[in-house]
Amino acid sequence: MDAVVREQIISDPDVLLDDKDIMRALVAANERAMGHNIVDLRGIAMERLEARLDRLEDTHRSVIAAAYENLAGTNQIHRAVLRLMDATKFEVFLRDLGSDVAGILRVDALRLVLETTATGDDPAIKRLDTVLSVAEPGFIDEYLTTGRGGQARQVTLRQVRPEDDRLFGAKFDFIHSEACLKLDFGTGRLPGMLVMGSEDPHQFTPQQGTDLLAFFAGVFERAMKRWLA
């Protein structure tokens, strides 16, 4: 061995110990020196510990990424809630929902669906047709369960291809995933639904968590109850 290299190793052996590639090469050389008939348990243990360390590092990175993503999602919901609270008139409240709030939540379409016995010919409804849709009683549960019956969840995330423009208007042909938030306005009132549509088929999928969207639905319900009162 070169004298300079040898002196460097002796003076600072930690440099070798901290280098995985060098340590792996030294272990392999040691195993070859012992012959093929001898099993080096220390080498096997080192390989297993190394593999376990790699898995732990991957898990650590995944946990950190998930934490940052959750924090970003929480900030989005908080900003959207604050924007909703700025409105001083009901019509402004709904228009902000389809513009500023949709932008904060980064969705391509956001619609409020209200079950009612009124018709879409109502002038007030027509003025807000870019964000407000009306439907006959029972429509929301049927839409959420896709006509199969059963109990509709408060938050439904799914990939979808709308068949008509009833909810998303002219954008319906571009929507590939949606988040549906069922709204309860209190005893004696028909339910409502917030529908967020995205062109990205992976923005809303059933595997995602729904806590933040459930919180947003709860805030929106309380805001609507005040306007309805």
* Partners of 157 in beta bridges: 179
Residues 175 and 168: their CA atoms lie apart, in Å, by 8
Q: Each residue's pLDDT tens digit in the chain (229 positions)?
A: 788 888 887 888 787 777 777 777 777 776 666 665 555 556 667 777 778 888 888 888 877 876 777 788 889 999 999 999 998 888 889 889 988 999 999 999 999 999 987 655 666 667 777 888 888 999 999 999 887 878 889 999 999 876 666 788 777 788 999 999 999 998 888 999 999 999 999 999 998 889 999 999 999 999 999 888 7
If DSSP states are collapsed to H, E and C, what string results for 145-181? CCCCCCCCCCEEEEECCCCCCCCCHHHHHHCCEEEEE
CATH level 2 (architecture), domain 76-228: 2-Layer Sandwich (3.30)
Work out the number of other CB atoms within 10 angstroms of the CB of residue 178.
22
Residues 30 and 24: their CA atoms lie apart, in Å, by 10
Residues 72 and 193: their CA atoms lie apart, in Å, by 24
Q: For the chain, which residues make up each domain, given as ranges?
A: 76-228
**Alpha carbon distance, N-terminus to C-terminus of the chain:** 88
The reply to whether the predicted model has a pTM over 0.75 is: no
